[in-house]
Amino acid sequence: MTQAKIRTRIAPSPTGFLHLGTARTALYSWAYARHFGGEFVLRIEDTDVARSTQDSVNQILDSMHWLGLEYDEGPIYQMQRLERYQQVLDRLIAEGKAYHCYSTPEELEATREAKRSIGEKTLYDGRWRPAPGKVLPTVPDGVQPVIRFCNPLDGEVTWDDLVKGPITISNREIDDLIIARGDGIPTYNFAVVVDDWDMQISHVFRGDEHINNTPWQINIFNALGAQLPQFGHCPVILGDDGQKLSKRRGAVSVTAYEEGGYLPEAMLNYLARLGWSHGDEELFGREQLVAWFDGTHLNKSPAQWDPVKLLWVNSQYIKQADNQRLARLVAHQLEQQAIAMDPVVVENHLPQVCALFKDRCDTTIALAHWAAKFYSDVTPDSAEITKHVTESVNPALKLLAQKLATCIWDKASIAGVIKEVLAAHNLKMPQLAMPVRVLVMGTAQTPSLDWVLELCGREKVIERLGKA
Ligand code: GLU
């Protein structure tokens, strides 16, 4: 039987920020659904009550929004579905497919220890698992039982993973999983199955740390008579040190990249390419990705996070970005640096600054670094001053300031004035341009000087030249 509709989901646990691995699986799930005209669901797996926070939910929603991963349903919160899980638990118990287990943590540890000492796998010993003719222990007082799933004792679980190919795990390797805790709250492996079943999820993309959970989940699907989704387990992302990316290893949240001056389309492009390819294509937009992403060409081996490549991708998108949009992003960065920005300037002047500098910037923070020179004080590096602003060039700088005070304030006239000063003092362009750049922009490397001066404005230019 085939699923009527392609439905995918991302199911983050709100116990921290949306990290890059989850963002990438969200992206694949989203693109897969869009490619096939299906639907994409956002589910918040908040059953770990002690560690789930609203702040984390908000960060997840913000990150999804920033990346443009619109979902068709959700966010659906697991904690709002407890009644439904209870219903399914009751059914499994009634059908003899799940049972109450009263083993205390101390008993379980003692069993594990005993098994460890004879070199056996530390699986649950099945003490409370009902069986025909078996006499169960007496129910102890005051112990809140957990519910365990009767995992098949023999046979094996096999599935054809969309990413990794066929995978088989023997049922002897796994034990009777706890599907609800003593407080009645279901565990991940159970809630995820009920949800994927109820939400008619056809394809599950997730990180390969869940491969070991999949046999349990498949057995639960089968026990419920539910149709199995197809599973695709994406390999981990490694840091540039070859270790798994983790909270302790650099910025791994999506929001950190937003704050770090990356454009969402660059992030989307880079994340998609990290673990998937379409020929040699390195730069592609959202529509292109949706057109190409059909679940094939996903890499089986781990991808390596490459910050230098990400910067390159970002710089390509910054070059193409609309100047008004860049201006709004840069204004936000400037305000973070306590440089107040007048909305009129953001609308009219800052876009021109962005246009002039965007070719040399790989983040909007780098762009803001340049833009700051137009809206706050510049302190030239003293070594640059000593090198370029020499005694011999001072008279020329004075003449330039004089002429700039009265010329028409546009690029062409400024260029004309510079030429006149060069001729009057018999200087070559760099002999004058370098000190002017250092005084006005604080550095000897800038784009076209006449343009920079025009944008900086007469008053600031003259004031800064006066510091020679
Ligand atoms: N809440 C799980 C996680 O964040 C979801 C795993 C899954 O997609 O099944 O890892």
Does residue 415 lie within any of the structural domains? yes
Tokens representing residue 293 in the block? 């992403």
CB distance 229 to ligand 1 below 6 Å:
no
Does residue 371 lie within any of the structural domains? yes
**Whether residue 360 is found in the same domain as residue 387:** no
Range of the structural domain that residue 394 is part of: 382-465
Instruction: Ligand 1 pocket test: pick from 60, 206, 233 the residue with the most ligand atoms within 8 Å of its Cβ.
Output: 206
**Minimum mean pLDDT among 78-87, 93-102, 121-130, 361-370: which range?**
121-130
CB distance 380 to ligand 1 below 6 Å:
no
Spell out the residues 6+ positions from residue 413 whose beta carbon is closer than 8 angstroms to its own: 407
Question: Rounded mean pLDDT of the chain?
Answer: 94
Question: What's the 56 CA to ligand 1 centre distance in angstroms?
Answer: 15
Run of H or E residues at 169: strand 165-170
Q: Read off the pLDDT of each residue in 364-390 and give the average, rounded to a whole number.
A: 94
Does residue 43 lie within any of the structural domains? no
**Whether residue 394 is found in the same domain as residue 432:** yes
Tell me 358's DSSP state: G
List, for residues 40-68, the tens digit of each pLDDT value.
Answer: 999 999 999 999 999 999 999 999 999 99
Closest to 142 (Cα-Cα) out of 89, 104, 108: 104
Question: What's the 257 CA to ligand 1 centre distance in angstroms?
Answer: 22
Question: What's the 387 CA to ligand 1 centre distance in angstroms?
Answer: 58
**Whether residue 349 is found in the same domain as residue 409:** no
**Whether residue 416 is found in the same domain as residue 388:** yes
For residue 205, give the ligand 1 atom closest to its CA: 8
Distance CA 62, CA 100 (A): 40
Cβ–Cβ under 8 Å, residues 401 and 465: yes
Does residue 352 lie within any of the structural domains? yes
Q: Scanning the structure block, which residue is given the tokens 């399914």?
A: 88
Residue 467 has pLDDT above 90, yes or no: no
Spell out the residues 6+ positions from residue 345 whose beta carbon is closer than 8 angstroms to its own: 375
Distance CA 267, CA 63 (A): 11
**Whether residue 371 is found in the same domain as residue 400:** no
Q: Read off the pLDDT of each residue in 127-134 and give the average, rounded to a whole number.
A: 94
CATH number at residue 399: 1.10.10.350
Q: Scanning the structure block, which residue is given the tokens 């990150």?
A: 63
Domain end, chosen from 341, 375, 409, is at 375
Res 1: pLDDT:
46
Which pLDDT band holds residue 251 (cuts at 50, 70, 90)? Answer: low
Cβ–Cβ under 8 Å, residues 265 and 198: no
For residue 209, give the ligand 1 atom closest to its CA: 10
Residue 3 has pLDDT above 60, yes or no: no
Domain end, chosen from 375, 401, 419, is at 375
**Whether residue 345 is found in the same domain as residue 392:** no
**Whether residue 392 is found in the same domain as residue 458:** yes
Instruction: Ligand 1 pocket test: pick from 192, 230, 233 the residue with the most ligand atoms within 8 Å of its Cβ.
Output: 192
Domain end, chosen from 350, 375, 400, is at 375
List, for residues 309-356, the tens digit of each pLDDT value.
Answer: 999 999 999 999 999 999 999 999 999 999 999 999 999 999 999 999
| Domain count for the chain | 2
List, for residues 171-227, the tens digit of each pLDDT value.
Answer: 999 999 999 999 999 999 999 999 999 999 999 999 999 999 999 999 999 999 999
Question: What's the 202 CA to ligand 1 centre distance in angstroms?
Answer: 16
Residue 121 has pLDDT above 50, yes or no: yes
CB distance 46 to ligand 1 below 6 Å:
no
List, for residues 383-439, the tens digit of each pLDDT value.
Answer: 999 999 999 999 999 999 999 999 999 999 999 999 999 999 999 999 999 999 999
CB distance 12 to ligand 1 below 6 Å:
yes
